Amino acid sequence: MTSTPPPVSLAGTISLAETLGRGALAIASYAALGVILLIIGFYVIDLAIPGKLSRLIKTDRNPNAAMLTASGLAAVGLIVAASIWSSGGALHEGLLSTLVFGLVGIAVQTVAMIAFDRVAGITVRDLVGEPELQPGTRLLAVTHVVIGLITAVAVI
């Protein structure tokens, strides 16, 4: 005589709807925090660059301002992504660490840009004053992304 297996208890399991709801909440929370950090990063870059950054990019179509801003924001994005990755699924702790690491990353980027100005003698002020894309802008842009990558790996 064969016995039938006992019924599986579903007590203590999480429903698919609950899992999807928590996942959607996490995505929305991290996305909102990421956007806030990118906006903060934009305004910090705006403070470091002479003139109104949005005008330099939108109206003046300054390629140097656009590349420096894009690279700075890409670096912040790398740091935010690494912070999310390292959170291990703990939403509250992950959001807090993403906020802290994102702000530290923005500060490090700013200090690095100032230090690079001093050491290499390539000033952001001079670069954004030029109407054509400058080699120094490319160098500084790569430096932004690399510092963001270094910071991101340090977070992980």
- DSSP labels, 93-126: HHHHHHHHHHHHHHHHHHHHHHHHHHHH---HHH
Whether 155 has a pLDDT exceeding 90, the answer reads no
**pLDDT tens, position by position, 77-120:** 998 899 888 887 788 988 998 999 889 888 988 887 788 778 88
pTM for this entry = 0.80
Are 53 and 46 in contact by the 8 Å Cβ rule? The answer is yes
27-57, pLDDT tens digit by residue?
Answer: 999 999 999 999 999 999 898 888 899 999 9
Per the listing, tokens 């999310």 go with: 84
What pLDDT is attached to residue 42?
A: 93
Confidence of residue 16 (pLDDT cuts 50, 70, 90): confident
Query: Whose CA is closest to 127, among 51, 74, 76?
Result: 51
What is the rounded average pLDDT of the residues 23-28? 89
For residue range 112-121, what is the model confidence (pLDDT) as tens digits? Answer: 778 877 888 8
Q: What b/e string do you get for 31-64 counting C-beta neighbours within 10 Å, with b at 16 or more? A: eebbeebbeebbebbeebbeeebeebbeeeebbb
How far apart, in whole angstroms, are the C-alpha atoms of residue 12 and residue 28?
A: 26
